[in-house]
Amino acid sequence: MRNSAVAPACPAEPRVRRDTNINVRLPYQTRELIDAAASAIGQTRTEFVVASAKKHAIDVLLDQRFFVLSGKESASFLAVLQNPPEPNEKLKELMKRRPPWTQK
């Protein structure tokens, strides 16, 4: 049990409500590797796994920006980029949304 009279060495981030869980079965060696890495940067296993998974999830979502177009499609795409239409209501609503990786 934690001694409440001892102050943390550095200011803690505000607590985030945790309302779900993920159970993972993995090889012992993988857990040991995760524990060693977490310890090396002063995090718990949970903090390390959550931060690593979150960072990778953001990277995956941001990497979905590459696409391939034919010559005709490319010309049409460039024409729209050079002469964009006025923002419509759907675009305005989209721009008001927070990215899924930001904290609320």
Q: Chain centroid to CA 75: how far?
A: 33
User: Whose CA is closest to 38, among 25, 54, 52, 58?
Assistant: 52
- Please tell me the distance from the alpha carbon of residue 81 to that of residue 24, in angstroms, as a whole number: 44
Tokens of 65: 């920006």
The pTM score is 0.53
Give 60-95 pLDDT, tens digit per residue. Answer: 988 887 778 999 999 999 999 999 989 999 999 999
Q: Which residue has the tokens 């904290």?
A: 103
Q: Apex CA 97: angle with CA 96 and CA 101, to 5°?
A: 140
